[in-house]
Amino acid sequence: MPDSVGVRQAQAQRTRGAVLAAAAAVFVDQGVQAPIRDIAERAGVGVGTIYRNFPTRADLVTAVYRHQIDTCTALASQLLEESASPFTALTRWADAFVDFLVTKHGLGAALGSGDPGLENLHTLMLDTLVPACATLLEACAAADELGPGITAYALMRAIGNLCITGPDYDQADAKHMVATLLAGCRRTA
Amino acid sequence: MPDSVGVRQAQAQRTRGAVLAAAAAVFVDQGVQAPIRDIAERAGVGVGTIYRNFPTRADLVTAVYRHQIDTCTALASQLLEESASPFTALTRWADAFVDFLVTKHGLGAALGSGDPGLENLHTLMLDTLVPACATLLEACAAADELGPGITAYALMRAIGNLCITGPDYDQADAKHMVATLLAGCRRTA
Amino acid sequence: MPDSVGVRQAQAQRTRGAVLAAAAAVFVDQGVQAPIRDIAERAGVGVGTIYRNFPTRADLVTAVYRHQIDTCTALASQLLEESASPFTALTRWADAFVDFLVTKHGLGAALGSGDPGLENLHTLMLDTLVPACATLLEACAAADELGPGITAYALMRAIGNLCITGPDYDQADAKHMVATLLAGCRRTA
Amino acid sequence: MPDSVGVRQAQAQRTRGAVLAAAAAVFVDQGVQAPIRDIAERAGVGVGTIYRNFPTRADLVTAVYRHQIDTCTALASQLLEESASPFTALTRWADAFVDFLVTKHGLGAALGSGDPGLENLHTLMLDTLVPACATLLEACAAADELGPGITAYALMRAIGNLCITGPDYDQADAKHMVATLLAGCRRTA
DNA sequence: TATGAATGAGCCTTCATTCAT
DNA sequence: CATGAATGAAGGCTCATTCAT
């Protein structure tokens, strides 16, 4: 019965997608610690469905952001090819990263939360975003455009922190401050 | 009975002080969301006493950090007098601010939390730290040491965010990133 | 299409058998209150299949133990023929019953649980094991080997209870206590 | 303010007592796994009050039965003095123990549950009832009234198990079976 | 004024049961 | 018939908050 199985799996995928979309929305509104029940209600499913698909909260958080993180990672090498100088690529990439973080600002808070259950997300970043950033930094260093002592991890973390916005500190401020931080990273002639 | 009134007031003050000291300690251990009961236990008082003195959690948080914020504020003008250049003063002050924020790391998270109940703390910063920072920035600008578009509020917020530390991003990293940010603020010759 | 019907029925029987085997195993590991899902997983079927074949948990429990109970029942008359005296037969039979109960220790607890849903199992025992035991007791009484006031039901129940084992009271203890109980049942000269 | 403190403590004691009484009643009705909420409702308190006084379910179970266990323990030495022979004392004590277990039949189930959280209760028995029983057994052995291989622990456990009653196996049956078991313990001349 | 026992809302998590495929 | 995704009731536990003393 491949048909009915396929139909059911497709339905399950749609449910999973609905949960992820609802979770993303609720995370923006309430942060990553939002009650599971709220997410279930927003998704129009029972809480059991969420627990079935994402046994822990961290699983859900990770799944919500995984695709976006992957996209961001891929952007790094693309910009490196397209840009006039490595540092320009770094700057553009940071800009894109800020857009990503600020739009999904729950992630910013999640990155800074230190929650041990979010180890997966942390790992995900270490495994994907940090190497992408490191590639850019190495290219900058090779082009003699980078000041000393800048590590990919600390830079990612710093950018992540600078993207925690609030009533009087918005996306434009975050972008400006990230740009300023990168300016400080640049080798002075 | 002026005596007994004075005695009672003195006792009340001591209680208030004990609560503040306990809260500061617990905030360091558990963050500003720590259970009220834990603070009460550490202070050796009943929870009711805390609610009497600090009706909301934000009141308590604000009171805990007020003195330290005032100290930090006063440091700005002092450094401005002592230092060779305004930018040096700014750098030193930022360093001191980082020490303050990282040591009392609950505050860093509090500043970035966007919690509407912490409006008081926000106001406190606007009213004290931001003007102090603005004074330093104005001195830098007057000495032609400052790049364009840096506002005191955004800078304070950025520094505050950079001080949200974690397992792999510690006080030294925060200091380094703040120094880098300030380097980026400096006018390029 | 007698063939396809036969095939389907054979398949259904195999499924039923797999569920019973899985349930027996899980009951040993986790007791008769084990989650239905665990049994379904062990059997390699969906939970719906279990509900179709055994609408209530008691139905499943009863089915699991029915065969073993029947075997135990048949043993009574066999031992009566083989043994030197009726009381010896009773003793041996009790020994076998203990082995059965302790090995499938979920049943011991089930018997003592008073769960109204297990009425079926209770009935099954009344209808099979108790008469078997009664036969043995009657033979003992006829041989003047039995003290007064021992009823088959109470004895079965007592033996069942004595077989509820635990960390510091194991199968050997249960056997010893059952033997002691039977010794107490014997007519004193 | 010794008065108001005393009043409050007295009130707290009364609450504690109400919880214990409610728990005892609910345990009889529903067993020791009854929902905490049910106990709270029966006691007329909030669930928090139960958790305050008895952080774990085992704490509550233990507290419910501790007094009765102590009473039963004390009875052993008293009967030993009063009775004509050690074995008579043992018999009488077992009788009293059955009364206790059957009346509070939740304990019977608790003893046989093997629940690791009830380690306290288990310990309580090992520390009090088992030694009391051991004293009786030793006296019997000294009077040459005891058959071989009977340990206090196994005997207590066996008696406990025999007291798990049900619809067709009541207190009288339990008493009879315990008496029979003890008869089996007696040295045959 | 200080106390802390009591309350109960709220969240987490499990699992029996249903039903569309 | 079999499947297993989905549901949601049920129960555990925590902690903010109140209020009688």
First CA to last CA distance, chain A: 70
Instruction: Tell if C46 CB is < 7 Å from nucleic strand F.
Output: yes
Nearest to B88 by CA among B79, B97, B96: B79
Cα(B181)–Cα(A186) distance, integer angstroms: 11
pLDDT digits (tens, 9 = 90+) for D127-184: 899 999 999 999 999 999 999 899 999 999 899 889 887 778 888 999 999 999 999 9
Give the pLDDT band of residue D99 (cuts 50, 70, 90). confident
Strand E nucleotides, any atom under 7 Å to a protein CB: 1-21
**CA-to-CA separations, A18 to A15, A24, A43, A100, in angstroms, rounded:** 5, 10, 6, 21
Instruction: Decide if B86 contacts B186 (C-beta within 8 A).
Output: no
Distant-in-sequence, close-in-space partners of A7: CB < 8 Å, separation ≥ 6 = none
Please state, in angstroms and rounded to a whole number, the distance separating the CA atoms of residues C137 and C147: 10
Element (H, E) at C157: helix C152-162
Three-state secondary structure call for residue A68: helix
- Confidence (pLDDT) at A107: 67
B1 or D110: which carries more pLDDT confidence? Answer: D110
Asked if A158 is an interface residue toward chain B (Cβ–Cβ < 8 A), one would say: yes
| D8-17 pLDDT per residue, tens | 888 999 999 9
Contact D36, D15 (CB under 8 A): no
Q: For the ranges A91-95, C6-10, D27-31, which has the lowest average pLDDT?
A: C6-10
Residue D29's CB is within 10 A of a number of other CB atoms, namely 10
B186 pairs with which residues across the strands?
B146
CA of C3, C1' of E21: distance in angstroms: 26
- Per-residue pLDDT of C133-147, as tens digits, reads 999 999 999 999 999
pLDDT exceeds cutoff 70 at D4? no
Distance D35 CA to F10 C1' (A): 9
Per-residue pLDDT tens digits of chain A, which is 189 residues long: 556 677 888 899 999 999 999 999 998 888 888 999 999 999 999 999 999 999 999 899 989 988 888 888 999 999 999 999 999 999 999 999 888 887 666 666 666 566 666 777 777 877 899 999 999 999 999 999 999 999 999 999 899 889 887 778 888 999 999 999 999 999 875
Through-space separation of residue B12 CA and nucleotide E1 C1' in angstroms: 8
Burial group, residue C33, by CB count within 10 angstroms (0-12, 13-18, 19+): middle
| C-alpha span between B90 and B85 (Å, rounded) | 9
pLDDT-based confidence at residue B160 (cuts at 50, 70, 90):
confident
Nearest nucleotide relative to C35: CA against C1': E15
- B14-44 burial: b if 16+ Cβ within 10 Å, else e: ebbeebbebbbbbbeeebbebeeebbbebbe
Q: Enter the tokens of residue B153.
A: 């509020």
Q: Which residues of A25-41 are buried (b: 16+ CB within 10 A; e: fewer)?
A: bbbeeebbebeeeebbe
Tell me the per-residue pLDDT of B98-122, one tens digit each, with 9 for 90 and over: 888 776 666 666 665 656 667 777 7
Give the pair of three-digit tokens for residue A39: 């997410």
Whether C153 sits inside 8 A of D169 (CB atoms) is yes
Amino acid code (one letter) for C184: G
Structure tokens at C86: 């009726």
Which chains pack against C, by 3+ Cβ pairs within 8 A? Answer: D
d(CA B3, CA C77) in angstroms, rounded, equals 98
| Shortest CA gap B166–chain A (Å) | 6
Task: Identify the burial level of D105 via C-beta atoms within 10 angstroms of its C-beta, where 0-12 means exposed, 13-18 middle and 19 or more buried.
Answer: buried
